[in-house]
Amino acid sequence: MAPSAFLWLLIAAAYFLIPLIATFLFSLKSNQTGKCCTVSNYSWVIHNHGFWESLKISSLLALETIVISLALFVPTIYWVHLRVPRLRPVIAFLALIPFVVPPIVMVVGLLRFFKGTPDWFYAKPWGFLAGAYVILAFPYMFFSLDAGFRSIDVHTLTEASQSLGAKWTTTLFKVILPNIRAAALAASFLTLAIVMGEFTIANLAAFNTFPIFIQYVNESQGFPAGALTLLSFGITWAAMLSLLLVGRKRGARSAVIAGGR
């Protein structure tokens, strides 16, 4: 490697690593004395009930959002590519709206809109918040999946499958889905990352998700907040890794999509 390339790599690595290392050193200081080095902050986090509770809520919310989004968007985008390609630009435009509308505006709108709905929906994260997160994940889902669908010949594969006797559901699950697996995984990662870090909507709708807990600790406990930050960082990465492993389990060899000849 050329020396200049190495230098740039070093600078880039430093940009990401220095804050992590600094946070790590900070998290080793005692909450009582402010001196190094102790793991008591980590122990405090791990033994905190709020940590586990909020982590559980956010993880399940992420999972729910991913499942609902995939179930909603995969067939829709498949259908658009197959039958109404003229609608694609319209949907792409709609998908940009969650980017453009500030979360604060969106949450106020949603809260007003859903006011008066049953408690099992309105007062539970699994209802209202999941609904809001599906909207928030829409752009990421759409653009990832759309790229996936564009990388395969949806028409020919569908027609080939049909002529062999398959119903459209069989075609979707046996032929189309395995070939857009990479795109579906990417969409799921992004959704996971969004849900694990989303603060504004959860805060205004008064749900105790993981980011709310981090914020709470951050305000009240200096050194444990460092430990919590690193732990949340690790947890998010572990979640993405597990998603990757689950997704790869069956299709590692088949992930390569034959390119144009």
Partner 1 sequence: MAYLELQNLHRDFGTVKALDGIEIQLGEGEFLSLLGPSGCGKTTALRLVAGFDRPDEGRIVVDGKDITSVSPNKRDMGMVFQAYSLFPNMTARQNVEYGLKIRGRDKADRRSRVSELLELVGLGHAGDRYPHQLSGGMQQRVALARALAIEPRVLLLDEPLSALDAKVRVQLREEIRRIQLELGITTLYVTHDQEEALSVSDHVAVMYGGRIEQMGSPAEMYSAPATPFVAEFIGTMNRLEGTVVDGGVDHGGKKLTIEAASGRPTGQRVLVLVRPETVEVTPANGAAASGNTLVGDVVTQTFLGPVTRLKILGTGVDVIADVPTQTALGLPVGTRVAAALPADGVRILELKEDLPEISEEP
Binding-site ranges for partner 1 (CB under 8 A): 152-153, 156-157, 159-167, 170, 174-175, 178-179, 251, 253-254, 256-261
Provide the 8-state DSSP code for 115. T
What is the closest distance, in whole angstroms, from the C-beta atom of residue 108 to partner 1 in the complex?
A: 45
What is the closest distance, in whole angstroms, from the C-beta atom of residue 88 to partner 1 in the complex?
A: 20
What is the closest distance, in whole angstroms, from the C-beta atom of residue 252 to partner 1 in the complex?
A: 11
What sign does the CA torsion over 208, 209, 213, 215 have? negative
- Closest CB to partner 1 among 1 and 258? 258
| Cβ atoms within 10 Å, residue 168 | 15
What is the closest distance, in whole angstroms, from the C-beta atom of residue 59 to partner 1 in the complex?
A: 29
User: Quick one: tokens of 112?
Assistant: 């007003």
- Closest CB to partner 1 among 194 and 257? 257
What sign does the CA torsion over 16, 19, 25, 30 have? negative
User: Measured between alpha carbons, how far is 141 from 185 in angstroms, rounded to an integer?
Assistant: 10
What is the closest distance, in whole angstroms, from the C-beta atom of residue 97 to partner 1 in the complex?
A: 33
Residue type, 147: A
- Closest CB to partner 1 among 171 and 232? 171
User: Quick one: tokens of 205?
Assistant: 């709708």
- Closest CB to partner 1 among 37 and 164? 164
Continuous segment of H or E residues that includes residue 86:
none
For the chain, what's the residue count? 261
Residue with tokens 């805060």: 203
What is the closest distance, in whole angstroms, from the C-beta atom of residue 176 to partner 1 in the complex?
A: 9
- Closest CB to partner 1 among 21 and 164? 164
- Closest CB to partner 1 among 100 and 256? 256
Residue type, 98: P
Residue type, 242: S
